[in-house]
Chain A
Amino acid sequence: MELGVLAPAYSSCSPAPEVDSVAAARKPPLRAGGLRALAKASRIAAVLLALAIAAPADAAAPLARLADALAGEIVAAVHGSAVEVASPEDRTGSGGSLALDLASLLRARLEGRVRLVSSGPRIRVGSVLAEGPGRLWVSARLTEEPGGRLVDVLAASAEADPMLLSLVPAGSAGGAGPLAVVAFRRTPLLEGRVLDVAPVGEDRVLVLYEDALALYRLDEAGLALLSRHELPVSLPVRFPGGTIYVASGEGAAWVLTSRSPRAVLFGLDNGRLEDRQQAEALFWPRTPRGLRYRPGTNLLEGSVADLGDGPFLRLDPRGAAVAPDGRLWMASPDGPRAIDVKVGGGLARPAPEMIATAGGGPPGPRDAVVLLDARDPGRPPLQSLPVDGAVRALGARGTSAKMRLVAAVEEERGTHLVLIDLAPLTP
């Protein structure tokens, strides 16, 4: 989101979304998302879809963010005066519906912060809503009424969010092995850093961002955002960690990030994320006191039966862990067993007899999803699926006959999801 006010050069700076920032104004705070590639009609449709299906608290909708930003600026500019919000002029080609929605959202956000009136001495907000490449813009003119004296001119923009993460083939996964790569697709770049991913059911994917949890539905077109819930984020962490634990039955998921002071249990019913419960620690099987992040790091701590006290970089609920030094640990009846294999920061179980990890190689432009035999993970990998970037998180779901892996892959420009469907070459 960007917003500029008429002010001297170098006049002010503050982090987004408090958008009076010179720094923010010189670089787009919101990354280009998938909608850049979509046609204009698709973008507007996606926005309307967002408005239609998003939860009321879903601040990710671009129109809502636009209203947030503009409301904040109006409150700052009017210095307590009464305000009249005129219906914006709509130049988006949407038939005026977006402008009407913007006016409603704007009024809702101004309610209680300024006195809204339609007559008498007031500051009148006249605005124009327009659409640029991948962005929605609003320009607002504040005039003193009666009289029409210009008080200020404000402008805000919001990138149209990727409500639909279209999936495109990501080329050959390569890597000979016992599994056939049935599909290997990737999304456009996501907004923000992804800490963990988890497939839920046949067609849903949970994505844990640094500051939010999002639930997507997978269909032919791609990953459609069903619901997004902001997380309490209060702790500065240079390279945060995050973990999703999908409860049995898949109707709920616990999440915890190292930027958040509390774990949150979300219900997943009806395609909506519902904040059901909060706790000081993340629920984890066979971990009586739960898991916590070591303050300021991405390292999990907690006493996990058969795996010890950690710290852990990653944990799999079926008894595997990645230690901070990249060593793989497996639970066993005799206690934790160190495996002589170095892996990266992703860990998942696509099938009972298989472990998926990120590669453990040195820094470089490429990484891999490495498939290990869970019965003897110290043996050479079953298969290695190279990706461009670094695998930051892995989620998996499946059976011996059909597996789906979801990887969050970070590259220079940002993070995208890679969806990999696998099946055994021989039944």
Chain B
Amino acid sequence: MAALAVLGPLLLYAALGPRYGGELRVGVMELPATTEPGAERGIGAGLVSILVHETLVGVDEAGFPSPALAQGWSTAAGGREWTLRLREGAAFHDGRPVGAADAARSIRRFLRSPSFAAARMAEGLEEGVSFRAGRGDDLAGVSAPDARRIVLRFAQAQALPLAPLASPAAAVTSAGGAGAGPFVPAAPVPGRRLALTAFAGHVRGRPYLDRVEVVALPDASAVPSEMASGRIDAAPGEPGITRLAATLLLLLDPSRPPFDRPVARAAVAAAIDRGDLVRHLIPGGDDAPSLLVPALLPPLGLGETPAPGRATGTSTLAVGLDVPPVASQRVVAHLTTLGLRVAVVPSSPATVLAAPTHAHLVMWSPEVAEAGLALAELAARAHPGAAARAELAAALDETEPSRRRARLHRAEAALRSEWVLVPLASVPVSYRTRPGVHGAVVDLAGRLMLEDAWVEP
């Protein structure tokens, strides 16, 4: 989506390319039932969202907002008021121009969505909290003074207040629900197949491919045969397009025994041999050092080493289906060695974090690839203590870029130090493609981006 503006085309230098035309069929493990914007997790949902929808802003590789449907912005009132100017000629798939009223309506929808980025934005906007909670429809913080401008008013100046608008859940849609992304959905078979055609009116220009088809595969084992038969051209898996954009993350519920005891959590963190996991079970992974958002904050060597110990009792562990089975089995083995009896609950990547279990083992990528928002998203799941909360709040409120980054490092280390969030490895998000496919990239949120993809004739 908009983040591609940031990534740049990443084109190889081809005599005959990039080329307009052609088709790409992508296999995924699960397809969302709808193409409406949302912050649902999972490769299929992320792919569909990025194909169909466009946001007002993106975030660049450094985490700064970048233009998308909004071509620029300016600030006033000491950083409390932000005016976004819509790009001339931006249009929805239904041919209607993207107007400020559409943007404002989409922001309102976003603010009431389950998105973490929305929660963060609502906290800052005037009347945002009450609006998000449904206590009223007034929202002084969002207005559209004319057809091309959207004004956001915050209670106080914030760093990067527009970054939440890069969330897939903040995509702008028309009154009729049409998106403005690079491809127009057509002929969906909910949950099984979605065909999309190039959108000539896309804000960054028509994509190269004429058509993309997203196909739900029965399971990962089907990928090799589907690729070999030519029924699909791309699918999750090595080797191919890759980016270190996910974290294998173990979340322990500190409100439930045995993980209510910090000593038990530290014992779990100490017991898992990260190097072993990465060397043997996660090709391309990186364990040193283990960070919550490794792609967004480079290692600084902050943090503590967990103290070995014992943890006993029974616990349930929800495991995302996108976690390599060998890796989850090894994690369970480590927990068992500690003295825990673990019952595994396999879960869909889209819903694994909502499973009512003692612990969750997930392949996690941030909703928005900006370090502050990503940490805030994790913190919302971990319910950290006062010290970590204070570190994070200080980082998020810091407006000077260098100081903010330094504070984010400290906040990240503080979040890890409670051993509720236990990063086990940095994991590449990879897609294999057939030969002759170029320009497809994985963004820092782990999503496959196809708007600059092209195929050799």
Chain B 57-94 near chain A by CB (<8 Å), digits 1 or 0 = 00010101111000111110011000001000100000
A8 touches B13 (CB 8 A): no
Give the total of A residues in contact with B, Cβ under 8 Å.
53
Kindly state whether residue B456 has any CB partner on chain A within 8 Å: yes
CB distance from B121 to the nearest CB of A (A): 15
CB distance from B74 to the nearest CB of A (A): 4
CB distance from A5 to the nearest CB of B (A): 10
Tell which of A142-150, A175-183, A265-273, A295-303 binds the partner: A295-303
Residue from B14, B18, B74 whose CB has the most chain A CB atoms within 10 Å: B14
CB distance from B262 to the nearest CB of A (A): 37
B66 touches A23 (CB 8 A): yes
A411 touches B205 (CB 8 A): no
Chain B 7-26 near chain A by CB (<8 Å), digits 1 or 0 = 00101111111111100000
Selected from B75, B200, B206, the residue in CB contact (under 8 A) with A11 is B75
Q: How many A-B residue pairs have CB under 8 A?
A: 133
Task: With A9-B401, A13-B65, A23-B60 as known contacts, state yes or no: A234 contacts B200, CB within 8 Å.
Answer: no
Kindly state whether residue A363 has any CB partner on chain B within 8 Å: yes
Kindly state whether residue B342 has any CB partner on chain A within 8 Å: no
Kindly state whether residue A256 has any CB partner on chain B within 8 Å: no
CB distance from A55 to the nearest CB of B (A): 27
B203 touches A236 (CB 8 A): yes
Taken together as a complex, chains A and B put the C-alpha atoms of A326 and B200 apart, in Å, by: 23
A363 touches B75 (CB 8 A): no
Contact residues of B between 1 and 43, Cβ < 8 Å to A: 9, 11-21
Selected from B17, B20, B75, the residue in CB contact (under 8 A) with A12 is B75
Contact residues of B between 184 and 210, Cβ < 8 Å to A: 200-208
Taken together as a complex, chains A and B put the C-alpha atoms of A241 and B26 apart, in Å, by: 28
Task: With A238-B208, A326-B457 as known contacts, state yes or no: A9 contacts B18, CB within 8 Å.
Answer: no
Give the total of B residues in contact with A, Cβ under 8 Å.
48
Contacts of A359 in B (CB 8 A): 15
Task: With A236-B203, A326-B457 as known contacts, state yes or no: A390 contacts B89, CB within 8 Å.
Answer: no
Kindly state whether residue B304 has any CB partner on chain A within 8 Å: no
Task: With A10-B160, A23-B60, A363-B14 as known contacts, state yes or no: A236 contacts B75, CB within 8 Å.
Answer: no
Taken together as a complex, chains A and B put the C-alpha atoms of A24 and B232 apart, in Å, by: 40
Contact residues of A between 219 and 275, Cβ < 8 Å to B: 234-239
Question: Helix, strand, loop or mixed for chain A's interface?
Answer: loop
Task: With A10-B159, A11-B75, A11-B79 as known contacts, state yes or no: A238 contacts B205, CB within 8 Å.
Answer: yes
B208 touches A345 (CB 8 A): no
Taken together as a complex, chains A and B put the C-alpha atoms of A243 and B203 apart, in Å, by: 24
Taken together as a complex, chains A and B put the C-alpha atoms of A266 and B417 apart, in Å, by: 68
B72 touches A13 (CB 8 A): yes
Taken together as a complex, chains A and B put the C-alpha atoms of A246 and B456 apart, in Å, by: 31
A343 touches B75 (CB 8 A): no
Chain B 222-261 near chain A by CB (<8 Å), digits 1 or 0 = 0000000000000000000000000000000000000000
Kindly state whether residue B410 has any CB partner on chain A within 8 Å: no
Contacts of B456 in A (CB 8 A): 362
B65 touches A342 (CB 8 A): no
26 A-B pairs with CB atoms under 8 Å apart are A9-B400, A10-B64, A11-B74, A11-B75, A12-B73, A13-B65, A13-B66, A13-B67, A14-B85, A15-B67, A15-B71, A23-B60, A26-B64, A236-B202, A295-B200, A296-B206, A297-B20, A326-B15, A326-B457, A345-B16, A358-B15, A363-B11, A364-B14, A390-B14, A390-B15, A411-B13
Q: A324-B20, A326-B16, A362-B436 are in contact. List 7 more A-B contacts (CB 8 A).
A: A7-B75, A295-B200, A344-B15, A364-B14, A390-B14, A391-B15, A412-B13
Q: Considering the complex of A and B, which 5 residue pairs feature the smallest CB-CB distances, nearest first? A: A14-B72, A344-B15, A296-B206, A325-B457, A363-B12
Interface residues of B (CB under 8 A from A): 9, 11-21, 60, 62, 64-67, 71-75, 78-79, 85, 89, 157, 159-160, 200-208, 399-401, 436, 438, 451-452, 456-457
